[in-house]
Structure 1
Amino acid sequence: MVAVADDPLLLNWEVVTGKAVVPNVDYDELGRPHQIYDPCIWKDGDFYYVLCGGWADGINPLAEPHARNKVGCQDATPCRMVDHLYRSPDLENWVYMGEFMENDIFGFSGDDGSCPYFWPIGDRHILLTFSHVHSAMFVIGDYDRPRQKFVARRGGYLNSGRQGSGSIHAPSAYPDGAGGVHCIYNVTEGRPQEGWAQIMSLPRRYTLGEGDRLLISPAGDIESLRAEAVELTDIELPAHQEIVVDEVRGNAMEIIATIDPGEARYIRLNVLRAADKSEYTAVNFHRDVGKDYANRSWSVRDSMITLDPTFSTVGAEGEINQPQNCHFHYREGELLELRIFVDRSIVEVFVNGQSACLTRVYPEGTDSDGFSIEARGHRARCRKLQAWTMERVFL
């Protein structure tokens, strides 16, 4: 169905035709001919366009349960990600235009293009999607309007491992009017859950950097939630010595650590740390061990942040999600800035205004709210450590 509204607050909606304007397509176990779900709509010139999620040429988790048991499909090849385009002059009459994206070499087999959002970013366009195999994805490229095709140039994943593993899930996105895109994700538990489930990430702002690299930073007025503040400067980090910072404590906090790594190639910050270190969640900096997978150039060497919940809980259920990681370009001699948000069961990290990762954790201890920092191999220095307790977003 399509509904329209023209009041400033978008409170009053009218359904076009009063029924579905694009009839459902009966596709088979391999996705043929195509699917209609998760629509993203926009207007360009005299036409409206709708982009729908989908897959093609193989098995996808949305079809796999019954496809695997059907004769001829038991050993089918995993699918490839596609998104399907429709066009209309009036929101009522729609024509199928075919697959939207070309030159997509950035996903893995088995991915689908669910929950698509397609918006301008800088002088390119970005397609944000969700895969039922690998979760949050992005593709950056050129919008060829005469042909109504999206030509991919860069792309990759915004979390690690499989979907549903306690990290970001499906996107909701819109342009910010200043060349960027605002996006927020639902976040899975990463553990069995009955009844109510999932929560939202912080809003993110996506922009393009050098070579059309996707840059990620927090969006919105997050600073308005800051309450009690702590600021420390020039904390020496001797090699192989954990420094517990007693002044920083809490399970609803924003922490900004500005670090001069010196020659250290590994630095770890522990949040939600128990006094006896029986529980903690580690934020790790690994210098020059990452890869800029988005441009498929082996000449680019990245650094990496890993968000590791391996020791986050001593609970008998062992509800420990897989580590998450993100890659970023660290230039020798620059400072490392880690902006860490802790909100009870969720830890989200932004690094140097370039990248981000998130995980869910479930510490059991009442004293699992401490903080520490250490350098490995060589000494380093934390130039500035800022921390705030955070107020509730709800009044």
Structure 2
Amino acid sequence: MAETFSSDLRADQRREVETFRRQREQLSGDPYRPAYHFSPPGGIVHDPNGACYWNGRYHLFYQFRPPDLPEDVPWVEAMHWGHAVSEDLVHWQDLPIALSPDTGAEKSCYSGQALVEDDRVVFMYHGPGSGNCIATADDPLLVDVEKSADNPVISEAGGDDPFTVFDPEIWRSSDGSYYSLSGTHSGEQFVDSEPAVYLFRSDDLTNWEYVGPFFEDGSHTDPGEDAAVPNFLEIDGRHVLLCFSHRRGAHYFVGDYDRSAHRFEPERHGRLTHGPTTHDGYIGDPNPGNLHAPSVLDGPEDRQIAFFNLNAGAMLDGWGEVVSLPRELGLSDDGTLTVAPVDELERLRCDHRSAGEQTIPSNDELLFDDDAGRALEISATIDPKDAGRVGLTVLRSPEREEVTEVTYYPHVDCLGIDATRSSTRSDATVRPAEEGPLRLEDDEPLELRVFVDRSIVEVFANGRRSLAARAYPGRSDSTGLSFFARGGEARLRSLDVWEMASIW
């Protein structure tokens, strides 16, 4: 990036990007550093923010604790907005830090989203100790971001209004008015809270009026949840509120939006993270949670592309956390949110191997390769037949001292990813297996796409279910790939495996 766009950057910006390049080079030998997922140039990447498509390029902003920040700076004062750009959604290149708490009224620059207008991009973000803030940029690379002199435009104080200000969403209606959501909770968080989202309106981005609660959720979620970092989308004529529960991870609501009453009426709720609840002290810790805060960009041809952060499961030297693969969103006929890896990822495929149709013996293992690798895409079609449990293993050592399993349970319509035996390291946090519902129709095979990237495993099944986990094999020989069946034999109908090239 420093070479490609050097003429579009100031001298100080070029120096900053060159520093990021050197930091990436220094970290490149880390065996857990992903090859084709976005990771920070040192320091910690947290929530993706402000993802947008501008001037023919994809931009990803993200909560960023820079690596040169002193360790004694608390999290509430540490957050910047990092910035990367891509021309293909796959290969990312660093740009200078976009937002810093060194300027402005806020203590830190927390999460928010972006609105692309004809002549500029508007960013709205939360500034702890201040409120929700506005910044704008109109240059080709969005590197000259200017904060509004009127920040915070929505104060944390709130006066007598019954709302809480937190990570905001922003959009513009057909009548020219701006709308913003503040996604939080009502009640005591992690105890008896429910997701709460508050709606605001403005004509000029500076003066905002409180409209009221955007929706009420009294039955879809568990006690203690919230609706942080909301993204409000329209897909195929339906409306989707995609957000994050600090207790249960990424989740969503599908329903109807009454534009005259400014109310969202959810009819369906779903989760993109499954399994145990997360704990409330996770920030900066090796949290065992998986798929977290979303940021969605409106791409060309009406594509909705979502990014999430995948929290770390181990304390790593010099960097932490990663961003998920970009996922294209859609809706199934029954209103379920679908997520699929973007087609552009196929550009990274190389060294293709395949296997023909064969039986997976009952209560046994079918070994494809003891040294398949640690940066892979796997496409497998399996007929479960009579098996009670069927699946594949990745990052497998020869004697299974370390192994990560992807499992389907046909009789209970459940897909799982189990990383409890993925590492023999004593400092790798163990998270219980993650399991989500997946019902196969009559004679429908299990269709898996599994992405393995050194310390990351992302699974997509039948276009309807996705799971993610972090894995930290301690053995150099944990590179195998195999298939298994329990309680009956299964049939491997097809298998394609590609090594995946690095994006750096």
Residues 51 and 86, structure 1, Cα contact 8 Å, conserved in 2: yes
Residues 414 and 436, structure 2, Cα contact 8 Å, conserved in 1: yes
| Aligned equivalent of 1:21 | 153
| Aligned equivalent of 2:330 | 207
Offset, 1:132: 1.4
Offset, 1:176: 3.9
Aligned with residue 60 of structure 1, among 168, 189, 192: 189
Offset, 1:124: 0.7
1:115-126 paired onto structure 2 within 5 Å = 115-126=229-240
| Aligned equivalent of 1:227 | 350
1:376-395 paired onto structure 2 within 5 Å = 376-394=486-504
Q: 1:180 to 1:127 in 2, by over 3 A?
A: farther
Show CA shifts across 1:308-351 (max 9, x none). Answer: 01211122335322211222231121221110000011111000
Cα distance in 1 for residues equivalent to 2:357 and 2:235:
38
SS in 2 for 1:275: coil
Show CA shifts across 1:166-200 (max 9, x none). Answer: 41111111234555521111111134567632111
SS in 1 for 2:207: coil
Offset, 1:216: 1.6
Cα distance in 2 for residues equivalent to 1:37 and 1:101:
16
| Aligned equivalent of 1:198 | 321
1:132-211 paired onto structure 2 within 5 Å = 132-160=246-274, 161-163=276-278, 164-176=287-299, 178=301, 181-192=304-315, 196-211=319-334
| Aligned equivalent of 2:196 | 82
| Aligned equivalent of 2:444 | 334
| Mapped pair 1:314 → 2:314 | no
| Mapped pair 1:3 → 2:118 | no
Amino acid at match of 1:219: V
Amino acid at match of 1:214: L
Offset, 1:285: 0.7
| Aligned equivalent of 1:47 | 177
Residues 137 and 146, structure 2, Cα contact 8 Å, conserved in 1: yes
SS in 2 for 1:227: strand
Cα distance in 1 for residues equivalent to 2:429 and 2:320:
15
Deviates more, 1:215-224 or 1:3-12: 3-12
Cα distance in 2 for residues equivalent to 1:216 and 1:323:
21
| Aligned equivalent of 2:165 | 36
- Work out the number of aligned pairs and report it: 362
Cα distance in 2 for residues equivalent to 1:385 and 1:80:
44
Cα distance in 2 for residues equivalent to 1:166 and 1:366:
25
Amino acid at match of 1:305: L
| Aligned equivalent of 1:363 | 473
Residues 55 and 81, structure 1, Cα contact 8 Å, conserved in 2: yes
| Aligned equivalent of 1:350 | 460
Q: 1:343 to 1:271 in 2, by over 3 A?
A: same
TM-score w.r.t. the length of structure 1 is 0.86
Cα distance in 1 for residues equivalent to 2:256 and 2:193:
24
Residues 320 and 361, structure 1, Cα contact 8 Å, conserved in 2: no
SS in 2 for 1:239: coil
RMSD, matched Cα: 2.1
Amino acid at match of 1:187: L
Aligned with residue 113 of structure 1, among 227, 230, 235: 227
| Aligned equivalent of 1:73 | none
| Aligned equivalent of 1:270 | 393
1:86-97 paired onto structure 2 within 5 Å = 86-97=200-211
Offset, 1:101: 1.1
Show CA shifts across 1:231-288 (max 9, x none). Answer: 1111221211211112761011111111122232320211001011111001001114
Cα distance in 1 for residues equivalent to 2:373 and 2:329:
29
SS in 2 for 1:20: coil
Cα distance in 2 for residues equivalent to 1:223 and 1:118:
29
| Aligned equivalent of 1:297 | none
Amino acid at match of 1:162: T
Residues 107 and 156, structure 1, Cα contact 8 Å, conserved in 2: no
Q: 1:33 to 1:194 in 2, by over 3 A?
A: farther
Show CA shifts across 1:28-50 (max 9, x none). Answer: 9xxx8321121110001231001
Cα distance in 2 for residues equivalent to 1:248 and 1:27:
62
Offset, 1:8: 5.2
Residues 104 and 152, structure 1, Cα contact 8 Å, conserved in 2: no
Cα distance in 1 for residues equivalent to 2:426 and 2:496:
34
Residues 428 and 472, structure 2, Cα contact 8 Å, conserved in 1: no
Offset, 1:78: 1.6
Q: 1:195 to 1:98 in 2, by over 3 A?
A: farther
Residues 121 and 180, structure 1, Cα contact 8 Å, conserved in 2: no
Amino acid at match of 1:47: S
Cα distance in 2 for residues equivalent to 1:314 and 1:7:
49
The percent of aligned pairs where both chains have the same amino acid is 36
TM-score w.r.t. the length of structure 2 is 0.68
Offset, 1:88: 0.5
Residues 194 and 218, structure 2, Cα contact 8 Å, conserved in 1: no
Q: 1:385 to 1:247 in 2, by over 3 A?
A: farther
Residues 196 and 216, structure 2, Cα contact 8 Å, conserved in 1: no
Deviates more, 1:8-17 or 1:360-369: 8-17
